[in-house]
Structure 1
Amino acid sequence: MSARWQDLVVLVALVVASALVALAAVALLHRVLRRIGRRAELVAELAARAYRPGQVLAVALAVHLVLLGGTTTGAWRDPLLHALLLVSIGATAWLVAALLMVVEDVALARIRTDVRDNRHARRMHTQITLIRRVTVVVVAVLAGGTMLVTFPSARAAGTTLLASASVIGAIAALAAQSLLGNVFAGMQIAFSDAIRLDDVVVVEGQWGRIEDITLTYVVVHVWDDRRLILPTSYFMKTPFENWTRRESALLGTVEIDLDWTAPVAAMRDELRRVAEGTDLWDGRVCVLQVTEATHALVRVRALVSAADGPTLWDLRCLVREGLVDWLRREHPDSLPRVRVAAPDRPSRSDSAAAPTPPAAASGSDGDARVFGETADGERREQTFSGPHRS
């Protein structure tokens, strides 16, 4: 065997040995971190997320160092070193992104949203979630730029690109105007506190909860388990309802149209009984008022309060069902009715027996007709239709 082949075999053996040593070192470090992580949540998350990128980075660096120190030369050596450099850059970016996500996950775990007043916690969750996505994108862009710089042709093209940066920037801005608008809107949503994760909103006539917020779109979980996907710019341009902007507690109304004979005082007591008999009511507001009394019906409005939007919906339905059932059982006469009153008309026999009244004198009230057979009626008839012709 020639000396060249001997050097190649030795180099391959060193590469394999260095890779195995790197993997063993990473595995040992992983076990140590997992043992420490039993008492520290941050270390446990770090051990779980950094294990795979740590393996790739350790092997790439170990093999790269062995090849740099080797004496074997060949056409394959420089491309392999370049490939290992690219792998090292990618693994480093992967590891950095994993470390940042560990920090963000730990921060999210410490901010509890299972409390009654979780407005501040949901705001922090929204901001941290969007910051996580931004950091991952920034790390990926920096890693891609660093990889491109390692190519000599890319470095040479960089000078030309910088010279025409203004033109390229203008073209890119026009081409990606919608995308960039959504990205900036996503950042504005994160820090303007317009909407947060788990906010109850009404958009496009749909009632739902904010399920996810990304840099380009927002996912609204509609009440019937559909998902409404809206661009982030929608929430910066279009009015929408946010039921949990300041606090989750809400007021809701139940309106019922009834007959004028409805017992309002007794109905008010029944509303209080229904509200006090359920855990859906938070004990703040329970009011019944007559808001309209026009034409044939009166409108009664029950105002109740609940801890959040979904609870309020169930409470309104419960109050409506309870009042309707109570009215149907206890006061059926109070339900809406249509009254029809016919005028009293004399019968045919009464009309025949009644004497004919004498003609009234001029200017008297004996004749109620406008154009009657009186002197005044004759004059009025001649005025509007002209004199009679014989």
Structure 2
Amino acid sequence: MVDGWTLVRLLATAAGALATARLAGLLAERLARRLPARHLDSTPFTLVRRCRVPLLATLTCALLLVGEPWVRLAPATGGAVRHTLLLLTIASSAWLSARLSTLVIDASVRVTVRRRDPDLVRRARTQAGMLRRLCQAVIALVALGSMLMTYPAVRALGTSLLASAGLAGVVAGVAAQSTLANLFAGIQLAFGDMARIGDVVVVGGEWGTVEEITLTSVVIATWDQRRIVMPVSYFTSHPFENWSRRDPAITGTALLHLDHSTPVAELRREFEALLAKSELWDGVGKALQVVDTTPSTIVVRALMTARDGGAAFELRCQVREHLIAFLREHHPYALPRLGVAAAPGSGPAGGTGPVGRGGSVQAGY
């Protein structure tokens, strides 16, 4: 049972630790205000202010741990309290370290992309996200190993994590597992500039945008608002299409199957007039050519460039719809027709059908 003086010393130690931690936090903020910074979001004051809670928690736990012997608790109670304070100090220190690393990485990204280059922004966001998660994982691993070392029964395990085997031994030991294999693949994906957040990709026959890259998976947002979650290792072991890795501009194609009598030159002029009025065409390239023939049709291919994959898809649909409507209105004979032979004996006596013996029916579509 705790006597009166012990309780007084306990309360005084707690109050002193809280007051000292608060005073240290205020001094750190005042000092950080005086330090120069080249960028508003990366000022030392901003970092200190956003780390206020974990900083106060770390200082309070550390001061309580230092002042615990002065309280003079019973040996059994004192040992349990000392051990609890030690665990809280390690946990709060890990929290502070994770918050600091996150803020420093985010501030570095904002300074790096101040030129507003979209390609650089996507690359920096992808690499920063990977670095952030990697730092948090390493900090959590170190904190867990440090906390394990405070227990005599499992000290050998904690020592193997931090001292004997070391962090490199931990990574090498777990690398055979699929989770860490995905982690290494994620680092390769981010820093190898294979795919970035916001890139337009085609993976497994699905067209979409890279929405998120985590330590173990990549989230693809498809055009129909679905989300495809794929392991990162897929992108390092299988080929995939990246439509915006260096330049988001792309060439779209629209195929038309038409009759041999189609006035191709007039159709080409209509196609060029349509592109000249379209806001989706980037003005770089265009072409309308007959690329193939069959016994009943010709294949006309319309090529047009656009600023990105989404604009190219919309432009292809507009070109296809407009050219078909133009032919239907001005040259209906240019639409493909299908010859249908009359069935033998299907007409009146002495005939084979509505067009006479040996005739055919042509149906447009």
Q: Report the TM-score, using the length of structure 1 for normalisation.
A: 0.77
Please tell me whether the aligned partners of residues 248 and 307 of structure 1 are also in contact (alpha carbons under 8 angstroms). yes
Which residue number in structure 2 is paired with residue 188 of structure 1?
Answer: 188
Question: Per-residue displacement from partner, 1:151-172 (whole Å, max 9, x unpaired)?
Answer: 233335667999999xx98996
Structure 2 partner of 1:290:
290
> CA–CA distance in 2 between the matches of 1:219 and 1:157?
36
Q: 1:88 to 1:302 in 2, by over 3 A?
A: same
Deviation at 1:212, TM superposition (A): 0.9
The equivalences for 1:213-252 within 5 A come to 213-252=213-252
User: Given that residues 305 and 312 in structure 1 are in contact (C-alpha distance below 8 angstroms), is that contact kept between their aligned partners in structure 2?
Assistant: yes
Aligned to 1:53: 54
1:62 CA drift (Å) = 2.3
**Secondary structure of the corresponding residue to residue 221 of structure 2:** strand
Shift in Å, 1:46? 1.5
Superposed counterparts of 1:114-263, under 5 Å: 118-156=118-156, 177-263=177-263
> 2:177 & 2:223 partners in 1: Cα distance?
33
Following superposition, the deviation at residue 334 of structure 1 comes to: 1.2
CA–CA distance in 1 between the matches of 2:300 and 2:186?
43
Mark the CA change 1:258 to 1:21 in structure 2 (over 3 Å): closer, same or farther: same
Q: Corresponding residue for 2:68?
A: 67
Distance 1:110 1:159 in 2: 40
Q: CA offset at residue 112 of structure 1?
A: 4.2
- How far apart, CA to CA, are the structure 2 residues paired with 1:227 and 1:143? 34
Query: What root-mean-square deviation, in Å, do the aligned CA atoms of Structure 1 and Structure 2 show?
Result: 3.4
Q: Is the 8 A contact 1:113 1:122 kept in 2?
A: no
Q: Which amino acid aligns with 1:217?
A: S
- State the Cα deviation string for residues 112-151 of structure 1 (Å, max 9, x = none): 4996x63343223222211111111001111111111222
One-letter amino acid of the structure 2 residue matched with residue 222 of structure 1: T
Structure with larger Rg: 1
CA distance in 2, matches of 1:169, 1:216: 18
Of residues 50-59 and 64-73 in structure 1, the stretch that sits farther from structure 2 once superposed is 64-73
2:11 to 13, 17, 22: 13
Contact 1:202-1:208 at 8 Å conserved across structures: yes
Equivalent in the alignment of 2:313 = 313
Letter in 2 for 1:101: T
Cα distance in 2 between the residues matched to 1:59 and 1:169: 32
- What code does the residue aligned with 2:22 have? A
- The residue that corresponds to 1:86 in the other structure is 87
Give the Cα–Cα distance (whole angstroms) in 1 for the partners of residues 114 and 340 of structure 2: 59
Identity of aligned residues (%): 38
Structure 2 partner of 1:357: none
Aligned to 1:337: 337
Distance 1:82 1:341, change over 3 A: closer
Superposition deviation, residue 229 in structure 1: 0.7
Match of 1:25 in 2: 23
Q: CA deviation at 1:9?
A: 2.6
SS of 1:338's equivalent in the other structure is strand
Deviation at residue 33 of structure 1 after TM alignment: 8.2
What is residue 281 of structure 1 aligned with on the other side? Answer: 281
TM-superposed deviation, 1:57: 0.9
Q: TM-score, normalization: structure 2?
A: 0.81
Q: Assess if the C-alpha contact under 8 Å between 1:57 and 1:91 holds in 2.
A: yes
SS at match of 1:141: helix
Structure 2: how far apart are the matches of 1:245 and 1:264? Answer: 36
The answer for unaligned runs of 5 or more in structure 1 is 343-348, 350-390
The 1:170/1:207 distance shift into structure 2, 3 A limit, reads closer
Which letter maps to 1:210? Answer: V
Stretch deviating more after TM superposition (50-59 or 22-31): 22-31
CA contact (8 A) 2:6 2:72 kept: no
Q: Distance in 2 between matches of 1:249 and 1:113?
A: 23
- In the TM superposition, residue 173 of structure 1 has moved relative to its aligned partner by 5.1
One-letter amino acid of the counterpart of residue 64, structure 2:
V
| Structure 2 runs not aligned, ≥5 long | 343-349, 351-365
Aligned mates of 2:28, 2:278 — CA distance in 1: 53
Identify the residue that residue 77 of structure 2 maps to in structure 1.
Answer: 76
Identify the residue that residue 346 of structure 2 maps to in structure 1. Answer: none
2:72 touches 2:78 (CA, 8 Å); kept in 1? no
Query: Partner of 1:109 in structure 2?
Result: 110
2:358 alignment counterpart: none
* Distance change (3 Å), C-alpha of 1:42 and 1:140: same
- Cα distance in 2 between the residues matched to 1:245 and 1:149: 46
State the aligned residue count. Answer: 338
Q: Secondary structure at the match of 1:215?
A: coil
Distance 2:309 2:218 in 1: 20
